[in-house]
Amino acid sequence: MKNEREFSNRTWLTFGLFVVLGLAVFGRILWIQGAEHEQWTEVGERFESSVQSIAPARGQIYASNGSVLATSVPVFEVRWDSKSEAIDWDTFDRELTALCEGLSEVLGNKSASEYREILREGRNLGRRNTLVARRVSYIKQKKLAELPFIRRGRFKSGFTFDRIEQRRKPFGDLAGRTIGIDRDEKRVGLEASWNEELSGVTGRQLQRRVAGGQWMPVSDDYIVEPVAGYDVISSIDMHLQDVASSALKRQLQEHDAAWGTVILMEVATGKIRAMANLTRTKEGTDEIPSVYQESFNHAIGTAVEPGSTFKLATLLTAMEQGGVSPSDEIDTGNGVISFYGKRMSDSNADQGGNGVLTTEEVFEVSSNVGTALTVKGAFGEEPQRFLDGLQSLGVHEPTGIRLAGESQPQVYTEVGSGRWSGLSLTQMSIGYEVTQTPLQTLSLYNTIANGGRMMRPQLVERLETNGTVVRTVEPEVINERICSQATLEACQRMMRRVADPNGKGTAQYIFAKSPYTVAGKTGTARIAGPNGYDGRYRASFAGYFPAEAPRYSCIVVIADTRSGIYYGSSIAGPVFRELANKVYATDPTFHQSSVGLLTAEHRLPGAKDGAREELLELYSAFGLPYTGDNTSDWVTVTTGDSIATLTARSIQPAHVPDVRGMGLRDALYLLENAGLRVQTKGAGTVRRQSIAPGSAINGSPSIILELS
């Protein structure tokens, strides 16, 4: 009995102690959450610090003539930290009215009373991350930084400006797929292939987490300073790009084709001066033509059966490896023949065919029968020699251009591999049972123009930072010589005969009135569908000019026309001619001057209007005299004989800036930051703008700039 009472007393004593301990813990929790809440919140925030990555400014992409093809436009997110330790609340209360009026005037989307309510609520609730405004332009951000209270700085005001870079293409859809798209995943074009150089070096900074999961810098210092990416100077000439795209679009719309591509390449270097790709994105009607956009890079990404343009590789191999002579004769009969029961015909078979032709004439008139019989005679017993000869030309490999998305060509390398059959030799000879991209086809034609030296196609000339060249991309030779001199000269003659106005070639009429000579090859390939070849065609023309001293090579491919016209000479040839005409007319090296060199007195070089700091940097670097405004961000330049005068150019918030006289880069910077959508025509200096300077900006209107 006594033991039971002792056990009971001990149990109750233990229970009492646990109750007292629990009440003490509960009381302490209430005390921490109440009286010591602010103290422990601040301690917690000190431990909510982390090293964060700081994205550097992405480099810009330029055309070869200095036009901006892709640029990053900064916008800002404005937030307020009401718990910033250095805020003087007496100053805040005194300047609050002026601050809110300034916010309303600069941002324009809320009244002063609305901004007052936002700030008062943020203060009363102790918010560390009050959102004030999104997508604020650079110009407006600078205005905001000068407002009462905000101008006291980040820590004394609590206001922060988070910079966000947005990518813009001033030329819109022009060369859009070549330039590419900058995004977190699945970048394309130059943006993808040169992403490492464009991206720069990511910075590192100590930041702390605030309400809403946002991060704010602990100080302005960096652990690793972010380094801006390099600017990429492409080989694209926007004058020629515009001509190529416009000529291609007209032809596509006229014949209601599915897609088309144009590539213009510099023969000696492999530099691509224009690359246009248009795909039908919306069906047209009898009154309204179909809509075409740069939605896919067919030049490098679409590998198709090339058709007759492959005959260059075929006959080159026959002459180089098969003992065929340019003057050898072959009887094509009435233009119809069968191989293993499969019919092959020439385009003029309904007119009796071509009869006896030499090897050069087979190429000139694009005889399918003649080409197939030539290859059959040379390699019929040893077809592997034909495949080996093609491999020596490199047609089985991609070009290796540094541009994301190049497709692999499909060319047999071994007899019996894949779907090889008894028909394969003759079908390959005329461009079937093989696939190549337009750029891969052009590469061989450029090689013939370049004296047998094969160049790797390239789209980038150099990398720069702040105008200083950091790396030059030199032309790269893939194969020093693909064939003998005799075979090379024979190929050049054959190609000249195709476009000779006085000959019988398939392109004899296209360049009859041109002031330059052309060497090339037309192509008309049937398109394979689910049920075989069903009456659809792909037209092409590949060649170079001037024929006697090649400077540029070019290929045009237009697929699946609905107009009933499908021959390469009628569809693709005119686009080639229009682009060649533009090159010939605008390139002064094609024309000899009889006037002699002009002389003039030395004068100061002219300058475009624009950013004052950059102009002063140039004037100082070259020791050029200047006078005038030394405070405004933007100036107008008047260049005299001995001195340049800078006059302030006022840029008002919420009004259209005056960008006349500026270069595209500065104009785009001002207009995009003002909230305008910019379209451009031409290149050079802004001469006209579609919305008058000083007009109030309502919404996000479009503005058209005319440059010259």
Q: What is the DSSP string of 291-316?
A: EEE--S-HHHH--B--GGGGHHHHHH
Q: What is the pLDDT of residue 472?
A: 96
Whether the link from the prior residue into 217 is cis, omega within 30° of 0, is no
Q: What is the pLDDT of residue 41?
A: 61
Q: Give the helix ranges, DSSP H, for 108-227.
A: 112-124, 138-145, 154-157, 176-179, 189-193, 195-199
Q: 189 near 404, Cβ under 8 Å?
A: yes
Q: What is the CATH number of domain 610-707?
A: 3.30.10.20
pLDDT tens for 315-342 read 999 999 999 999 999 999 999 999 999 9
In 3D, which of 613, 615, 705 has the Cα closest to residue 667?
705
Which class is 51-172+199-231 in CATH?
A: alpha beta
In 3D, which of 68, 404, 71 has the Cα closest to residue 238?
68
- Range 239-460+467-589 classified under CATH 3.30.465.10: no
In the predicted model, is pLDDT for residue 607 greater than 60? yes
**d(C-alpha 244, C-alpha 264), whole Å:** 8
More confident of the two residues 603 and 651 = 651
DSSP state string for 476-496? -EEES-SS-HHHHHHHHHHHH
Q: What is the pLDDT of residue 361?
A: 96
Q: What is the pLDDT of residue 27?
A: 73
In 3D, which of 442, 440, 445, 189 has the Cα closest to residue 303?
440
Q: What is the pLDDT of residue 603?
A: 57
Mean pLDDT of 464-483: 94
**d(C-alpha 293, C-alpha 281), whole Å:** 7
3-state SS assignment for residue 327: coil
Mean pLDDT of 92-114: 92
Mean pLDDT of 240-265: 94
Q: What is the pLDDT of residue 35?
A: 67
Q: Across all residues in the chain, what is the average pLDDT?
A: 87
**Which range among 198-202, 247-251, 331-335, 397-401 shows the weakest confidence by mean pLDDT?**
198-202
Q: Which range, 17-21, 572-576, 597-601, 681-685, has the best average confidence (pLDDT)?
A: 572-576
pLDDT tens for 487-538 read 999 999 999 999 998 889 999 889 988 889 999 999 999 988 777 777 889 9
In the predicted model, is pLDDT for residue 13 greater than 90? no
Q: 453 near 425, Cβ under 8 Å?
A: no
Q: What is the pLDDT of residue 108?
A: 85
Say yes or no: do domains 51-172+199-231 and 239-460+467-589 share a fold: no
Q: What is the pLDDT of residue 367?
A: 96
DSSP state string for 242-260? HHHHHHHHHHHHHHT-SEE
Q: What is the pLDDT of residue 12?
A: 74
What are the sequence ranges of the domains in the chain?
51-172+199-231, 239-460+467-589, 610-707
**Which range among 151-160, 575-584, 681-690 shows the weakest confidence by mean pLDDT?**
681-690
Q: What is the pLDDT of residue 599?
A: 40
Q: What is the pLDDT of residue 609?
A: 85
Q: 59 near 232, Cβ under 8 Å?
A: yes
Sign of the Cα pseudo-torsion (415, 420, 421, 424, in order): negative
pLDDT tens for 262-299 read 999 999 999 999 999 999 999 888 778 889 999 999 99
Burial 402-424 (b: 16+ CB within 10 A, else e): bbbbbbebebbeeeeeeebeebb
Residue carrying the six token digits 């937030």: 79
pLDDT tens for 346-362 read 989 988 999 999 999 99
Q: What is the pLDDT of residue 562?
A: 86
Q: What is the pLDDT of residue 315?
A: 97
Q: What is the pLDDT of residue 224?
A: 77
In the predicted model, is pLDDT for residue 597 greater than 60? no
Q: Which range, 128-137, 222-231, 390-399, has the best average confidence (pLDDT)?
A: 390-399
Q: What is the pLDDT of residue 664?
A: 85
In the predicted model, is pLDDT for residue 167 greater than 80? yes
Q: What is the pLDDT of residue 601?
A: 47
Q: What is the pLDDT of residue 38?
A: 63
**Which range among 40-49, 139-148, 376-385 shows the weakest confidence by mean pLDDT?**
40-49
pLDDT tens for 620-668 read 877 888 888 677 888 888 877 778 888 888 888 888 889 888 888 888 8
> Where residue 90 falls among pLDDT bands split at 50, 70, 90?
very high
Q: What is the pLDDT of residue 592?
A: 59
Residue carrying the six token digits 């024309």: 591
In the predicted model, is pLDDT for residue 47 greater than 70? no
